């Protein structure tokens, strides 16, 4: 394994490492819980954005508040926030990517109200809707503007004597560079140059690293992958279902020689995709990307939600595998359409 791949793997596994380093160095850190928060706005305001993620199984203490039917990731995040692991965050931004996140917001606010738990940071709820219609679009753009105002106010409160403002286009440019590289990685996956486990690690590290460091390492890793010989494999699989913040499922699928070439998931293939336009109105450009192109269980109608999948299966996928949490009550319904899509 190359040094750069080791670095990406380290950050994929040590998810608070960079955020804590930044915090210790005096850089204020803002956490967010999923893919529909425009991290470019956080960077523009001078904060370090980090994905808040956790994957634990012992919920003692927090299980008095959160019922066991929540998915493991949501329960884990809730538990770790209450227990203080994320108390260094300046702010936690929770978007409405899923209803579970809306509930996470309400539960955290309620524990804070009832107990004054000092571990819970300031929380901002980003109410970006995902129904695709002009009303939701207008509402969402208003929410995007409000988030920007909130971050600017946070910026003023923290950096009163410094001018740390970054022009909007720099973080957007960085995002586009990363997306270009991830799109190249996606091509390599179909050429069987890397496993799904490797791909998940390489992509997932992005959420837990300084993005400039991430690009440097990603570029080296891509070069290394590009000269590999294709692996022999029996079937090319695409994974659909709940979001996957680990590699266990991919390992189980690939142990018999199959290869996972794509995921309908922001932890996997959907982290790349179309680039963000750069114009005189960067907020609108960001909004367009996050509103029209982000995967979310709340995207409606289903035809829109399945556009990506419909295109992807044309690339040579042999089988679609469903990943469903044991308590899933949402994505299981989609088997109905996927069967139809696949004929």
Residues that bind other proteins in the complex, under the rule CB under 8 A = 64-67, 69-70, 96, 98-100, 102-103, 105-107, 109-110, 113-114, 125, 127, 129, 131, 135-136, 139, 142, 297-298, 300-302, 324, 326-330, 332-337, 339
Q: Which of 267, 293, 273 is nearest to 186 (CA)?
A: 273
Query: What minimum distance in Å lies between the beta carbon of 128 and other proteins?
Result: 10
- For residues 172 and 338, which CB has a smaller minimum distance to other proteins in the complex? 338
Q: Give bridge partners of residue 92 from the DSSP assignment.
A: 31, 123
- For residues 129 and 222, which CB has a smaller minimum distance to other proteins in the complex? 129
Number of helices (H) and strands (E), helices first, in the chain? 14, 7
Query: What minimum distance in Å lies between the beta carbon of 181 and other proteins?
Result: 31
DSSP H or E segment with residue 259: strand 259-263
Q: Is 265 left (phi over 0), alpha (psi -120 to 50) or beta?
A: beta
Chain position carrying tokens 């993620």: 53
Residue 135 neighbours by CB under 8 Å, 6+ apart: none
Query: What minimum distance in Å lies between the beta carbon of 338 and other proteins?
Result: 11
- For residues 121 and 272, which CB has a smaller minimum distance to other proteins in the complex? 121
Query: What minimum distance in Å lies between the beta carbon of 109 and other proteins?
Result: 6
Calpha distance 63→264 (Å, rounded): 30
Tell me: cis bond preceding 301? Omega within 30 of 0 counts. Answer: yes
On the CB side of 176, CA atoms within 13 Å amount to: 13
- For residues 96 and 236, which CB has a smaller minimum distance to other proteins in the complex? 96
Query: What minimum distance in Å lies between the beta carbon of 235 and other proteins?
Result: 21
Query: What minimum distance in Å lies between the beta carbon of 131 and other proteins?
Result: 4
- For residues 15 and 298, which CB has a smaller minimum distance to other proteins in the complex? 298
- For residues 10 and 300, which CB has a smaller minimum distance to other proteins in the complex? 300
């Amino acid at each position: 394994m190359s040094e750069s791949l080791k670095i990406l793997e380290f950050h994929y596994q040590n998810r608070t490492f960079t955020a804590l380093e930044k915090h210790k160095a005096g850089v204020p850190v803002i956490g967010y819980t999923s893919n529909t928060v425009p991290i470019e706005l956080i960077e523009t305001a001078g904060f370090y954005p980090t994905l808040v993620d956790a994957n634990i199984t012992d919920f003692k203490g927090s299980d008095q508040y959160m019922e066991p039917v929540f998915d493991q990731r949501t329960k884990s995040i809730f538990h770790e926030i209450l227990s203080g692991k994320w108390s260094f965050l300046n702010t936690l931004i929770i978007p409405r990517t899923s209803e579970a996140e809306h509930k996470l917001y309400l539960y955290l606010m309620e524990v804070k109200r009832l107990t004054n738990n000092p571990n819970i940071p300031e929380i901002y709820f980003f109410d970006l809707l995902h129904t695709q219609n002009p009303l939701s679009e207008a509402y969402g753009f208003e929410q995007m503007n409000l988030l920007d105002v909130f971050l600017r106010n946070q910026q003023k409160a923290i950096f009163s004597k410094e001018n740390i403002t970054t022009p909007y286009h720099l973080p957007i440019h960085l995002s586009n560079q990363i997306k270009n590289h991830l799109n190249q990685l996606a091509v390599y996956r179909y050429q069987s140059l890397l496993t799904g486990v490797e791909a998940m690690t390489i992509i997932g590290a992005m959420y837990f690293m300084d993005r400039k460091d991430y690009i440097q390492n990603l570029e080296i890793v891509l070069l290394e992958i590009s000269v590999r010989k294709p692996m022999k494999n029996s079937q090319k699989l695409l994974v659909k279902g709940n979001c996957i913040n680990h590699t266990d499922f991919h390992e189980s699928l690939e142990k018999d020689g199959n290869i996972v070439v794509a995921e309908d998931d922001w932890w996997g293939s959907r982290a790349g995709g179309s680039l963000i336009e750069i114009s005189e109105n960067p907020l609108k450009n960001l909004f367009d990307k996050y509103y029209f192109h982000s995967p979310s269980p709340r995207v409606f109608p289903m035809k829109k939600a399945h556009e990506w999948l419909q295109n992807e299966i044309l690339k040579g996928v042999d089988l679609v595998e469903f990943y469903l949490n044991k308590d899933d009550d949402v994505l299981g319904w989609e088997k109905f359409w996927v069967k139809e899509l696949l004929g």
